[in-house]
Amino acid sequence: MTLSFDNKIALVTGGSSGIGLGIAQTLSALGAKVIITGRNPQKLETALASLGAEAKAYPLDVANLEELDTLFAHIQADFGRLDVLIANAGVGDIQPLGQITVEKYDRQFTTNVRGITFTVQKALPLMKAGSSIVITGSTASINPGAGMSVYGATKAALRAMVRSWIVDIKGSGIRINILSPGPVDTTSLREFLPGNVDEVIQALSDRSPIGRIGSTAEIANAVAFLASDAAAYINGTEIFADGGASQI
């Protein structure tokens, strides 16, 4: 099976680094005209250089509704439609119970839940039958681990919302799915982990039946499948890409 995104317009939020950039690069290689967003203009410019000549990049904080409106106005003007939305932008903090702060609680829910909600809602008018939305979830939605309760709750909220959204847009021909990665070897993961990073990554690898953590390319391939016409009958599903760790 060969996946193709020829003549398709794809938006990847949080696409300037890590998993998001990997997804954008994969979709571009498969023929899509890719739009990426991110909060850091310098990272965006660097990421844009790795994509196709027709790719575009826009600075964006998904928690800012005015910026979302501006983004979709640009997409309407530049492309006239959107075929694929990868709602990937998100943040996370380690905060054990007893140390949870209002600031970090609000930051995670505002970005991960409100940001995703309005990214999807504002994208819908640009999408038609056959379009696809893939939301980046996390295995933390079912197994958050110590200190990850708030982050895990944001991802679990998305799962509940998607179950309702596919009913809300029934008959539109637009699919919505969630791809939930386990630990993936990115710069942001290494900056996020506490203590001796190599030891923590080894511990995460030992927990996985496949014996290692994931790569951005592996997650990108799974997202591309869900977004593609090859997955035309898959809707409202959460797929875990974690080497089997969430299944044991």
Q: 245: left (phi > 0), else alpha (psi -120 to 50), else beta? A: alpha
- Which structure tokens are listed for 248? 């044991």
Catalytic: 151? yes
How far apart CA 246 and CA 216 sit, in angstroms, is 18
Angle between helices 149-168 and 116-123 (to 10 degrees): 20
How far apart CA 69 and CA 72 sit, in angstroms, is 5
How far apart CA 84 and CA 133 sit, in angstroms, is 6
- Per DSSP, helices labelled H in the chain are 18-29, 41-48, 65-78, 102-109, 116-123, 149-168, 187-192, 197-207, 216-227
Instruction: Give strand pairing partners of 214.
Output: 184
Query: Which residues belong to the active site?
Result: 151
